[in-house]
Amino acid sequence: MTDTLSDYIDAVASALSLPIEPEWKPAVRINLELSLRMARLVDEFPLPDESEPASIYVA
């Protein structure tokens, strides 16, 4: 089975120097899938190009 998400986890872990033991990976994956489901809800919501992110910074 081609598993792009598994490959993605390996690639990001390598890029960020995050050690992920093989036995941790299924749980990391479940959590990432949940985060991406949440992200999809946000992503689907149309926002105008002029939208500013919320920020706590005041110059």
Partner 1 sequence: MSLDPVLTSQGAWRPASAIAKAVATQQVSALDVVEVALAKIERHNPMLNAFTEVTADRARATARALDAAIAKGETVGPLAGVPFAVKNLFDVAGLPTRAGSKINRDRPAASRDATLVERMEAAGAILVGALNMGEYAYDFTGENIHDGASRNPHDITRMTGGSSGGSGGAVGGSLVPLALGSDTNGSIRVPSSFCGIFGLKPTYGRLSRARSFPFVASFDHLGPFARNVEDLALSYDAMQGADADDAACTTRPVETVSPLIGQDIGDLRIAAAGGYFQNNLMPEAREAVASVIAALGVTETVELPEVARARAAAYLISTIEGASLHLDRLRKRAADFDPAVRDRLLAGAMVPAPLVDRAQKFRRWYRARVLEIFQTVDVIIAPATPCIAPKIGQATFELDGVELPVRANIGIHTQPISFIGLPVVAVPVPLDPMPIGVQIIAAPWREDIALRVAYHLQQSGIVAAPHAKAFQ
Q: Smallest gap, in angstroms, from Cβ of residue 42 to partner 1?
A: 5
**Residues contacting partner 1: total by CB under 8 A:** 35
Annotate each residue in 1-40 with x if it binds partner 1 (CB under 8 A) or - if it does not, as one string: -------xx--xx--xxxxxx--x--xxxxxx-xxxxxx-
Looking up tokens 């490959």, which residue turns up?
Answer: 7
**Cα(6)–Cα(20) distance, rounded to whole angstroms?**
12
Sequential DSSP letters for 3-30:
-HHHHHHHHHHHHTT----TTTHHHHHH
**Residues of this chain that bind partner 1 (CB under 8 A):** 8-9, 12-13, 16-21, 24, 27-32, 34-39, 41-43, 45, 47, 51-57
